[in-house]
Amino acid sequence: MANLLSDFLFLLQRLDWASLLDLLLVTVIFFALLKLIQDTQAMVLLRGILFILVILSLLTSMINLPAFSWLIRTTLPALLFSIPVIFAPEIRRALERIGRAGAGSLSLRSNNVIDEIQPSIKAVVTASARLSSRQHGALIIFQRSDNLREYIQTGVNLNAAVTPELLLQIFYPNTPLHDGAVIITNNRLTAAACVMPLSASGILNRTPERQMGLRHRAALGISEASDAIAVVVSEETGSISIAHAGRMIRRLDAERLENILIAFYRPAQMPGPFSIFTRLISRPAKNRRHED
């Protein structure tokens, strides 16, 4: 114990501002990496890798195993090279998020954007309220700066005006276009029955309603893969939810849904990719308990 304390004091004496900055940078990088893979399958893989490394370290340090130690030293470089392959989806998602953040900080939004998008927002809000009362499932995607052409090509091209009646008809059960998502681009209903990527995160698995279906996973998936806004209506409960940047808020009424959608397009509230969503979900705990 005395030796440990003396070693610790020796390290403290050698610390200077450059060492502190070095430690701070390393800490920030590891913290950012852990935040990026939080609630993903990569976190499970990382726990498995760390567990294996701890077991191998204990075996090689406590017991003299020359052949086993040689095998570990030989295969460890190959395992390090395999990390980019194993975590490829998370690395790609992180780079896309950084690119969107940089593009968002450089782009200027005109003051009349909200006036142009408001008719489409009102149509979506009206349709969502009616679909919710009838418990008809729906998934409506607002394209923003990221192009969704690859997802539009998976659906049926419409290029129609955004109206509540058209949305109600599209998502009426058992109609040809009711499966999949509707994508709205530049105030036009571009396509319907589009296939969205499913979320790989574990956010939905930790909610009380673990049986939420593919619409909610698709809403989270497209919000993780792009900066799009996804409005989803549950077919089971009629609950209205909205997803953005890999996060979801649920149990929305028509008024709050409209306020949130307008907030995403208000120029005065565009300082960063996550700030709007953070403000919208940071309500008093009493209100959240009442909703739950």
Q: Which domains does the chain have, with CATH numbers?
A: 2-106 (no CATH), 113-291 (3.40.1700.10)
How much is the pLDDT for 155?
94
Determine the Cα–Cα distance for residues 139 and 162; give it in Å rounded to an integer. Answer: 14
Q: Give the rounded percent of residues in the chain with a pLDDT score beyond 70.
A: 69
Q: Which of 35-39, 136-140, 215-219 has the highest mean pLDDT?
A: 136-140
User: Residue 189 pairs with which residues in a beta bridge?
Assistant: 160, 184
Q: Which residues of 86-100 are buried (b: 16+ CB within 10 A; e: fewer)?
A: ebeebbebbeebeeb
The tokens of 285 are what?
């705990």
- Assess contact for 291 and 276: CB atoms under 8 A: no
Q: Spell out where the chain has E strands.
A: 138-142, 156-161, 181-185, 188-194, 229-233, 240-244, 247-252
How much is the pLDDT for 90?
63
- Better-scored residue on pLDDT, 13 or 167: 167
- Better-scored residue on pLDDT, 246 or 81: 246
- Assess contact for 244 and 141: CB atoms under 8 A: no
How much is the pLDDT for 136?
94
Q: What is the pLDDT of residues 79-96, one digit of tens each?
A: 777 767 766 666 666 666
The tokens of 239 are what?
């609950």
Q: What is the pLDDT of residues 186-243, one digit of tens each?
A: 889 999 999 998 886 666 655 555 556 788 999 998 988 888 999 999 998 899 999 9
- Say if residue 22's pLDDT is above 50: yes
- Say if residue 181's pLDDT is above 90: yes
- Assess contact for 253 and 240: CB atoms under 8 A: yes
How much is the pLDDT for 135?
92
- Better-scored residue on pLDDT, 84 or 30: 30
- Say if residue 290's pLDDT is above 50: no
Average pLDDT score over the chain? 77
Q: pLDDT tier at 183 (50, 70, 90 boundaries)?
A: very high
- Assess contact for 289 and 269: CB atoms under 8 A: no
- Say if residue 120's pLDDT is above 60: yes
How much is the pLDDT for 240?
94
CA dihedral 270, 109, 145, 161 (to 10 degrees): 110
- Say if residue 145's pLDDT is above 70: yes
How much is the pLDDT for 1?
57
How much is the pLDDT for 269?
43
